[in-house]
Amino acid sequence: MEHIHTPTHAARGYLDPEIVGAAYREHGSGSFVENHYVERLNPDRPLPEVNPNEPRLITGEYAIRVKLVSRNNMEGVWIGFPDTGEYMDTAHPDELLLGLDALQAETLDQCMAVDVDCALPQITDILNQYDSAGELVRHAIDFGYVWAEQGQGEPHWMEKWQCVMELEDCHRLDLALDLAQNLHCYEFIPRGVDLAQYGMDLARKEGVLGQDPLLIQCFDSVAYAQHHMAKYGLSTTDHGYAARNEQEIIYEYSQPEHEPEMTM
């Protein structure tokens, strides 16, 4: 069987023809024919595969804790999320049920939040952001699930979330939840990352690279990453480089801020 490797149109700008030609002459067993490279493959030779990133297991302490008090328990109890129990009702996880039992309360309407401890230091003054313990705890539960999933193992997810929060000057819990669900609306490069590797990963994600290992070897991934940064005008934060892209943010927890209208 004859097999012709053809780079994608987007990849051609980052491939030096001389480098590609030299690589094929050195490592390949085929020939250049009419601006194409033709190689005879052994039927037993496996086709190249791209190894996906392995999902990371997320473990650790509570992402957020809320201290509640009630008429029957003024000393109060701490409830933390993500929940570590087996009861997976998202509205009433084990931690909440145990807390209500300790407070001798049937619902959150019979409780008052008096303190909050959050793992993200940029989210501040959380108590004053909510009018009721019920709304605060519901958002804390969702925050716990976001923290536990962390993009279902997506590389650099936590750094991107924190980077976007810094970019948007986010100090509210509700906005942090919205940003976590809209990270696809931002372009991002982690701080201290190997630009060559990141550019390669980005090119694979965007479908720029094909399956030919020699073309991948010759691809200028640093230039591709730098072009990506310049294209979107990424801003520098403590956790990386980020900028909004053209996708629309969908707000579920918070209210978007609107620019004041000009009046005549």
Residue 231, pLDDT above cutoff 90: no
Q: Report the share of the chain in percent with pLDDT over 90.
A: 47
- Asked if 116 contacts 67 with a C-beta cutoff of 8 angstroms, the reply is yes
Q: Are 82 and 95 in contact (CB under 8 A)?
A: no
Q: Are 219 and 14 in contact (CB under 8 A)?
A: yes
> Which parts of the chain fold into alpha helices (H)?
17-27, 94-103, 133-149, 157-167, 173-181, 195-205, 213-218, 221-232
| Amino acid at site 246 | E
Average pLDDT over residues 156-177: 96
Q: Give me the pLDDT at residue 76, please.
A: 96
pLDDT grade for 232, boundaries at 50, 70 and 90: confident
The more confident residue out of 256 and 136 is 136
pLDDT tier for residue 83 given thresholds of 50, 70 and 90: confident
pLDDT of residue 256: 82
- Per-residue pLDDT averaged across 155-179, rounded? 96
Q: What three-state secondary structure class fits 21?
A: helix
- Give pLDDT, residue 12: 60
Looking up tokens 């940003």, which residue turns up? 179
Enter the pTM of the model: 0.68
Structure confidence at residue 195 (pLDDT) = 87
Query: What's the pLDDT score for residue 94?
Result: 82
Share of the chain above pLDDT 70, in %: 71
Q: What is the mean pLDDT of the chain?
A: 81
- Higher-pLDDT residue of 216, 144: 144
Residue 137 has pLDDT above 90, yes or no: yes
**Can you give the pLDDT at residue 50?**
34
